[in-house]
Amino acid sequence: MLEHYVIFKPFPEHVAALAEELQAFGEGVRGTLPELIEFTWGENTNASGLAEGYTHACLARLTGPEGLTAYWVHPAHQRLLSRLDELCQKRFAIDYGIGERITGRPAA
């Protein structure tokens, strides 16, 4: 499994438009990308990130590196990429393979 996180610092006048684009992207990949296990996005609530202007983030949980390749070329992702330079001052991604999974719940 592979986690693909992206952190966004939009131009102040494009915060709402970024949220709309992330929503549209989620709807655009729903049910069309077998390699995508889960996609979530939301507004940042962390004060240190907000102080730097990072207002939103998203997470795509994928089947593995091959899933990232399929995700990258998906038409909905290409559309989102085409808008991000216009909407964001900065953004960065972090990809990592999941090692051991530790949960806060005791094992059953």
CB-count exposure of residue 12 (10 Å: 0-12, 13-18, 19+)? exposed
| Alpha carbons 72 and 68: distance in angstroms, whole number | 6
Q: Over range 14-19, report the average pLDDT.
A: 98
Q: Over range 2-29, report the average pLDDT.
A: 96
Residue 55 backbone phi and psi in degrees, to 5 = -100, -20
Domain boundaries, the chain: 2-96
- For 31-88, write each residue's pLDDT tens digit: 999 999 999 999 999 999 999 999 999 999 999 989 999 999 999 999 999 999 999 9
| Alpha carbons 52 and 44: distance in angstroms, whole number | 11
Taking domain 2-96, whether its CATH number is 3.30.70.100 is answered by yes
pLDDT given at position 99:
74
Work out whether strand 88-97 and strand 2-10 pair parallel, antiparallel, or are unpaired: antiparallel
pLDDT given at position 104:
78
List the structure tokens of 101: 């999974």
pTM: 0.87
